[in-house]
Amino acid sequence: MATQKLPALDGHDGSTLPQGVPQAVPDERSLPAVSGKVKIAAPPANSVATPQAVPVLVPPTAPSSTSSQSEVKPPRAELNAPYEILGSPDESVRNAFPPERIVGGRYIIEERVGEGGMGRIYKVRHRDLGKQFALKIIHKNLAQQPHIRDAFYREARMAASMNHPNIVSVFDFGVDPTHGAFIVMEYLSGETLAERMAREGVLEPKASCDIVLQCAEALAFIHSFGVIHCDIKPENVFLCHPTQASDARRNNVRLLDFGLASRPAVDSREIVAATTVAGTPTYLAPERIRAQSPTPASDIYALGVLFYECLTGHPPFDGRLQEIIFGHLRREPMPPSQRLGRPHTPFHPSLEALVLRALGKEPGQRPGSAAEFAFALRHVMAEMGVARRLDAVGLPSSPRADLCEALVDSCPLPMFVASPTGEILFGNAALCQILGIPPADLRGKLSSTLLARWCPRIERDVRQVLARKRASRHTLVVHNQSGEARGGWLTLAPFRRDEDIVGVCGIVALMGDHEGEGRS
């Protein structure tokens, strides 16, 4: 049937039309279902508009008899909906969102939750999965600068490669035509350490130790990959709300923001130079102020500043920028017990000594690594009577647990549990015997024991087990006291707690069954 133009309809204001004439709408995508498209014909050029004039409507072409029951679907390109759920137009409309509310075609913005120097952070919901995420969008003016945009992509790739319980997880990143570059992270419920300190002023030593210990473990993990965070500060330490009532006193830490992270051994000179003096002056290590390349010791210094601030409510050096810089370079920090300036429970001497050691002016005066710092802090917490965090989250004692503990202790096979950084957390009596170490001295990194001599790539093997999330077996060559060599195997497997991988467990098996021959 040919299309016919109808004359203007006098006496109607456009809100209602005579029966049989379709109504004009501003956006055809809002139509729930139509059998054709409504075209709005422009009035003649010589016509004069009147208050009663309404658009001239062109009715849709009548469908043929063979397709009378079929409906014309809106173009897929106009809808932010995946192919699988594009059924009838009704379904399509329910899955359509304006461009300003959807990012990357699948993340629906629900609210803005924060803003920083680089961009804004939103709470979003995945359109198809219904899961909530945090989405970071870089400011448009910064996104136009190539080096800033490249740094944003580096942050996304670097953070996505880190799989650790104390590091925020990154799931996706890309570029949206409306919003620009974005990063998708896990959505965390809680507050930053800066917000907590602003509310409470000074944290209790127990809480401070627990928070800093988790930060040190996260730093030890990223340092093992050659990555320096370069921006440790309270704003980048997130304290998650407990998910269970039994965890009400715990501080579950996530380390945030890898925007300034550096890999001196891999990155180009320009990138390393750009991150050398970047960061918040209050937490800059002296060598970074002198424009030297960042090292793990630089992160340890910043962690020492954060530790000092948790205990006293103030950083060791504050005031004007010149005073802060001069303090980092020339002044010795006041002991935390003196800086607090009010009656308080005396700090444990070992705690205060560890904080001041981390604030050494030269990198060699600080703990040799973040793992060493974490190890020293655990000993301080033990002296203070604070249970280790790994032990504190254990299950209540039960007959089965007691039986398992007795079985491991009496097992003739050497067994151990190590952290993601290769630090020994537990070893049974057989391990102490084969290594020739008293049980009280069984601590430190795996690389510092005879296991590293028998299996030279043990630290790399631990990282591979964590990355692949499956067990692996490695050959050993053990020399006894008489110089004879014995073959064996080291089996490494992921160590899980509450379905999370928190380390590795190892079992040593040597050929032969003569007691004591494996000791060097």
What's the pLDDT tens digit per position in 296-327? Answer: 999 999 999 999 999 999 999 999 999 999 99
The verdict on 468 and 489 lying in the same domain is yes
Query: Cβ distance 370 to 300 under 8 Å?
Result: yes
The pLDDT score that the predictor gives to residue 110 is 92
- The reply to whether the predicted model has a pTM over 0.85 is no
Sheet of strand 107-115: strand arrangement = 102-103, 107-115, 119-126, 132-138, 180-186, 170-176
Domain that holds residue 330: 199-391
Closest alpha carbon to 366 in 401, 333, 403:
333
Q: Which CATH number characterizes residue 493's domain?
A: 3.30.450.20
Eight-class DSSP state of 81:
S
The verdict on 275 and 232 lying in the same domain is yes
Q: What span, in angstroms and rounded, lies between the C-alpha atoms of 423 and 453?
A: 16
Question: How many other CB atoms sit within 10 Å of the CB of residue 183?
Answer: 26
Does the structure show a pLDDT above 90 at 355?
Answer: yes
The verdict on 228 and 256 lying in the same domain is yes
Q: What span, in angstroms and rounded, lies between the C-alpha atoms of 276 and 244?
A: 41
The verdict on 373 and 290 lying in the same domain is yes
> What is the pLDDT confidence band of residue 241, given thresholds at 50, 70 and 90?
confident
Active-site annotation holder among 90, 128, 210, 231: 231
- Helix-strand-coil percent breakdown of the chain, rounded to 5? 35, 20, 45
In a domain, 486, yes or no: yes
Q: Which of 345, 367, 391 is the last residue of a domain?
A: 391
The pLDDT score that the predictor gives to residue 293 is 86
Q: What span, in angstroms and rounded, lies between the C-alpha atoms of 520 and 509?
A: 16
In a domain, 207, yes or no: yes
The pLDDT score that the predictor gives to residue 367 is 92
In a domain, 86, yes or no: no
Q: What span, in angstroms and rounded, lies between the C-alpha atoms of 152 and 167?
A: 17
In a domain, 516, yes or no: no
The verdict on 230 and 114 lying in the same domain is no
Q: Is 116 exposed, middle or buried (CB count within 10 Å of its CB: 0-12, 13-18, 19+)?
A: middle
* Per-residue CA distances from 384 to 91, 387, 410 (Å): 62, 9, 31
Q: Which CATH number characterizes residue 210's domain?
A: 1.10.510.10
Q: Which residue has the higher pLDDT, 44 or 309?
A: 309
Annotation marks residue 231 as catalytic: yes
> What is the pLDDT confidence band of residue 260, given thresholds at 50, 70 and 90?
confident
The pLDDT score that the predictor gives to residue 152 is 79
Does the structure show a pLDDT above 90 at 253?
Answer: yes
The verdict on 384 and 243 lying in the same domain is yes
Closest alpha carbon to 495 in 397, 381, 409, 416:
416
Q: Which residue has the higher pLDDT, 40 or 101?
A: 101
Which tokens hold the place of 312?
């006293």
Span 462-492, pLDDT tens digits: 888 888 888 998 888 877 666 677 788 889 9
Q: What is the dihedral of CA 364, 368, 374, 379, to 10 degrees?
A: -80
Q: Which residue has the higher pLDDT, 61 or 405?
A: 405
> What is the pLDDT confidence band of residue 74, given thresholds at 50, 70 and 90?
very low
Structural domain tally of the chain? 4
The verdict on 222 and 327 lying in the same domain is yes
Q: Which of 371, 391, 411 is the last residue of a domain?
A: 391
Mean of the per-residue pLDDT values for the chain?
75
Percent of the chain past pLDDT 90, that is, above it, reads 27
Does the structure show a pLDDT above 70 at 431?
Answer: yes
Q: Which residue has the higher pLDDT, 407 or 113?
A: 113
